[in-house]
Copies of this chain bind each other. A is one copy, B any other.
Amino acid sequence: MAGCSITTVSHYFSGKRPVSPTMGQQIQRAADLIGYRPDPIAQAFATGRTAVLGVQFPFQGDSLVSNPYFPAMLESVSVAAAGINCSILTIPRSFESYDIDRKALLERLDGVLLIDPWEDDPQLEKIVDYGIPIVAVGRLLRRSDVPWVDNDNESGIRQVFDHLIEQGYRRPALMTARVNYAYTYDIEATYRREIQRRGLQARIIRTSDYSERASEDDARRLLDTPDRPDAVIASTDSQAVSVLRVALELGIRVPDELAIIGEGDTVLARTAIVPISSVRINIEGLVRSAVEMMSTLLNALDADYPRLLPVTLIERASSTRHSGD
Contacts and interface: CB of A to CB of B under 8 A. Distances in A.
Interface of A: 37, 40-42, 44-45, 49-52, 57, 59, 62-63, 65-68, 70-71, 74-75, 77-79, 81-83, 87-93, 98, 100, 104-105, 107-108, 211, 213, 266-268, 271, 273, 284
Nearest to A266: B65
Given A52-B87, A70-B71, A79-B98, 16 more contacts: A41-B51, A42-B45, A57-B71, A57-B74, A59-B71, A66-B68, A66-B268, A74-B74, A75-B92, A78-B90, A79-B90, A79-B100, A82-B89, A87-B88, A88-B89, A211-B271
Contacts of A50: 40-41
A141 B87 CA distance: 30
A214 to B, nearest CB: 10
A65 B72 CA distance: 9
A271 B100 CA distance: 30
Contacts of A49: 41
A111 to B, nearest CB: 13
A78 B92 contact: yes
29 contacts: A41-B44, A41-B50, A42-B45, A45-B45, A57-B71, A62-B271, A63-B267, A65-B68, A65-B70, A65-B71, A65-B266, A65-B267, A66-B66, A66-B67, A66-B68, A75-B90, A75-B93, A75-B98, A78-B90, A78-B91, A79-B90, A79-B92, A79-B98, A79-B100, A82-B108, A87-B87, A87-B88, A88-B89, A98-B284
A82 B70 contact: no
A-B interface, 6 closest residue pairs, ranked by CB to CB distance from nearest: A78-B90, A66-B66, A87-B87, A62-B267, A45-B45, A52-B87
Contact of A213 (B71, B104, B271): B271
Contacts of A83: 100
Nearest to A74: B90
A98 B74 CA distance: 13
Contacts of A74: 57, 74, 90
B100 A82 contact: yes
Nearest to A92: B75
A62 to B, nearest CB: 4
A41 B42 CA distance: 8
A123 to B, nearest CB: 13
A49 B107 CA distance: 20
